[in-house]
Structure 1
């Protein structure tokens, strides 16, 4: 008759439970897998499938504790936070491109034009939503979702489940948040420069001809030049996202080192 001890049951549960929490944390925050159009049951099923596939190749952490214990709950919370932080690293890339859309729309005079975004269930500016959808398409075309899954699986090698003990990763995540503003400014800089020159030209024309109606001439001119500049800058979006995927891999490694630091 097969007999199982409490220690064996706890080891088997820890071998599956802790990896599942890390995977599910990524699925909760990653901009692709966390879309509202993707049902929660699908995400939970994908997390269970990935946990089952990798659980057999993972060693049981020497710090493994019973699941229902203060130490076991602490390990579970840490694993969930590790997955959430990895997902937020990828979300920062999407948010940086959306920031570029906000800046461009504000300078073009389209900051007030909003549409309902079904992906985020909120109203977003038109250009920000356009950049968000463009980023999603480029991200899938570059197999970014596979990059996220690969980084997640490699995280179990760099930082096995149950071995996280540090909190320096939170500082790394906060510092990486500056990428949002840097990415937004870099992507929108060509359009902002063109619009700045346009506004200076309109100001000179208004000074030379005071009877010129600024609102009747300036808004269509600004809008037209802004759209042309945005169209000419679109080919540089894909290389930028590709570069950011590489930055995500390096930032993820630093993040895991921060979690593992004692």
Structure 2
């Protein structure tokens, strides 16, 4: 007859719950996996399947009761770790959306916005378009698989253990968050330079030929020039996005190492 004591039950629960919390937290914040269009039941089920698949390879867990203060503290740590690792990838797509905001502002399309369920706020139409393009590039480069592979390696770099995380490790996430503005500006810079030049030329034209209505002429010119440049620039963004994705994978490993350092 098979008998299970309380210690074995705690061991099985800990081997599933603690990795599950880290993986599910990633599902909430990571791009593609954390989209609001995906039902919560699907996210929970996918996280459970991944946990069951990798749990036997994670090694022994801390021998503490699941419902104790130490067990709850470990669970909270796993949630914070998963959220932080997911935010690393989310920052990449935030940079792309920021580039769309910059371009739309220069093209005169800043007023063209609609509600984005992914962010829960009004988003410029160009920002949403560039986010979709980045998502397609992410899928074409198997970024979702590379992201999950890098995330699984964090269990080796930052194993589940008793003890506090290194607070200095959060500085890696704050440093990486600067890419929202830096990479966003670099991605939008070609169009911004051309559109600013056009606006400067229209300003000079307004001073020399004041009978010409710049507001009536400038908007169609800026819009058509911006759309033409988008058809040229967007197909060339794949190498830039690929390097940005590769940098985010390395930041995931660096963040895990920094949080684990004593």
Flag whether TM exceeds 0.5 (same fold): yes
Residues 14, 60 of structure 1: 8 Å contact kept: no
In 2, distance between residues paired with 1:162 and 1:14? 11
CA offsets per residue over residues 144-171 of structure 1, 9 Å max, x none?
1111111121111222222663222322
CA offsets per residue over residues 17-39 of structure 1, 9 Å max, x none?
11111100100111211111111
In 2, distance between residues paired with 1:130 and 1:223? 16
Hey, what does 1:53 align to over in structure 2? 53
Residues 168, 258 of structure 2: 8 Å contact kept: yes
Hey, what does 1:100 align to over in structure 2? 99
What pairs with 1:38-187 in structure 2 (closer than 5 Å)?
A: 38-61=38-61, 63-162=62-161, 165-187=165-187
Residues 159, 260 of structure 1: 8 Å contact kept: yes
Residues 31, 90 of structure 1: 8 Å contact kept: yes
In 2, distance between residues paired with 1:37 and 1:159? 31
Cα distance, 1:111 vs structure 2: 0.3
Hey, what does 1:246 align to over in structure 2? 246
In 1, distance between residues paired with 2:43 and 2:232? 38
In 2, distance between residues paired with 1:77 and 1:254? 21
In 1, distance between residues paired with 2:165 and 2:95? 30
Cα distance, 1:122 vs structure 2: 3.9
| Structure 2 residue ranges without an equivalent (≥5) | none
In 2, distance between residues paired with 1:144 and 1:258? 23
In 2, distance between residues paired with 1:64 and 1:145? 33
In 2, distance between residues paired with 1:174 and 1:165? 16
Residues 79, 162 of structure 1: 8 Å contact kept: no
Q: Normalized against structure 1, the TM-score is what?
A: 0.94
Q: Cα gap change, 1:64/1:258 in structure 2, threshold over 3 Å: closer, same or farther?
A: farther
| Structure 1 residue ranges without an equivalent (≥5) | none
Q: Secondary structure at the match of 2:211?
A: coil
Aligned pairs, how many? Answer: 261
Runs of 4+ in 1 over 6 A off after TM superposition: none
Q: Normalized against structure 2, the TM-score is what?
A: 0.94
In 2, distance between residues paired with 1:161 and 1:64? 11
The CA RMSD over aligned residues, in Å, is 1.5
In 2, distance between residues paired with 1:64 and 1:259? 22
CA offsets per residue over residues 54-73 of structure 1, 9 Å max, x none?
11111113x43111111111
